[in-house]
Structure 1
């Protein structure tokens, strides 16, 4: 009986973690770009490296959301090294539920943030001091 009680009490924190709601998505239009949106809730600074993590998508006025149809275009993930004006391609997501890939900090850096992430990337770099600094995996 006592072993069951201990097992039950130990499993409670896991239930709380499993019941935690998924982070919201707030898709906002990139300034000056008619069809590009960025996820304001995903936008953050990696505490370890100072890289800005951003996801963008192209779509119509309603913007992309979870389960965004693949025909509308993928959600693209980037890490931005704003000081060096370089970006890292972290892959594409077709459902809105992809996290950062394993060892993402080792990806190759490419020149010209605005060439890849457009005006959303420029906006992210300008706002980096006010973005949440997070210990990312």
Structure 2
């Protein structure tokens, strides 16, 4: 019985980690070099925040094919209702997950100022994004 409980509790984390292996880098509307990962973007059930990642350069995945010269992949959490964003760090090789306590990061004004038009698009399509329990 204990094993079943442990397995069931680990499913949300597993779902998040396995879902991030698929990558679909899409050019943000109206942008010329900023891409967002449509497969990674999701809504946190607990807070309603959108977790996403963006990068500048040429959108080729997976990470091992993303040249370091194109810059890091940036992780963000978006609070669309307040038009604020949270910086969750940089990722260079695809191994970075959400940092501990990520929901407590400082919120900064103006989503489009940091995440660009991809942030606006994600906020507009929030209802169509997967809603998951994030760690």
Instruction: Give TM class, smaller chain.
Output: 0.7 to 0.9
The alignment partner of 1:116 has SS state of helix
Q: Is 1:66 the counterpart of 2:63 in the alignment?
A: yes
Q: CA deviation at 1:22?
A: 6.3
RCO greater where, 1 or 2, for CA within 8 Å and sep 6 or more?
Answer: 2
Deviating more after overlay: 65-74 vs 81-90: 65-74
Deviations 1:48-102 (A, max 9, x none): 0000001000012x43531222211000000000000000000000112311111
How many pairs are equivalent? Answer: 120
Q: Give the match for residue 42 of structure 2.
A: 44
Question: Which secondary structure does the structure 2 equivalent of 1:119 belong to?
Answer: helix
Q: TM-score, normalised by structure 1?
A: 0.81
Number of the residue aligned with 1:87 = 85
Aligned to 2:4: none
Q: Is the 8 A contact 1:87 1:111 kept in 2?
A: yes
How large is the RMSD of aligned CA atoms in angstroms?
2.0
The 4+ residue runs of structure 1 with deviation greater than 4 A are none
> Which secondary structure state, in structure 1, belongs to the residue aligned with residue 63 of structure 2?
coil
Question: Gaps spanning 5+ residues in structure 2: where?
Answer: 1-6, 8-13
Gaps of 5+ in 1: 1-12
2:27 corresponds to 1:29: yes
CA contact (8 A) 2:20 2:39 kept: no
